[in-house]
Structure 1
Amino acid sequence: MQTVLISIHLIVVLGLIAVVLLQRSEGGLGLGGGGGGGVSGFMTGRGQANALTRATAILAALFFATSMTLGVMAHRSAAPRSILDGAGNAQPAAQPNAGNLLDTLRQNQGGAQAPAAPAAPAAPAAPEAPQSR
């Protein structure tokens, strides 16, 4: 169903582009030719303006309708996501003396065990500033 609606949406978009480009330009370089030439044999003055305006309005309404329908369909097909849904499946907190990731992987593989917590580097007693000469 969604593929059919996307195809209809594409046809409406292409039709809307064509109708907008056929309208009389107010000074730009549209396909209407600025009113002088271009599509002069197709329709004349008022008839062309009324038909193209009406076609633009209908195609714009169809564009909005298909866009909204596609948005609703995409929203309904998406799985609901909530932070509360995953609360029961949360992993237990890591142990404070578990060490780093490499140690944990070695324990899981049955390899040699590294020390649990590496020693922290000693902090300098006072901040050091560069000396000028």
Structure 2
Amino acid sequence: MIEIYTDGASSGNPGPSGAGIYIKANKKQYEYAIPLKDLSNHEAEFYAVIKALEICKNEFPGEILSFRSDSQIVVNTIDRDYTKNKTFLPLLEKVRELSTHFAYVFIKWIPEKQNGNADRLARKAIQDQK
């Protein structure tokens, strides 16, 4: 099982954004700080999950993925596989499509203080754009 911690951040709402992805797999850690376009904070959180799925599709195809996020909106939307929000719907559809490449994908909410690595990486991705 692959453990993936994701976080999104934006400088402004919307504003320059970043995705932080911290992966624990096979007794190794992988870190990704991915700059994103101008997005809201919630959109950046979704893009962090999407980017992580894209990375895992290449690096860990067919594995069981266990996501951790401190965004309740993202966790609830993906867990329930439903949103009324027109902005989030295409993002949820992208998560659905990418999830088909894995044996199983689940997501769990964690408190912010347990998501420090992903938070640090998301903030770094914003700084890298300046």
TM value normalised by structure 1: 0.20
| More RCO (CA 8 Å, sep 6+) | 2
Of Structure 1 and Structure 2, the greater helix share is in: 1
Of Structure 1 and Structure 2, the greater strand share is in: 2
TM value normalised by structure 2: 0.20
Which has more radius of gyration?
1
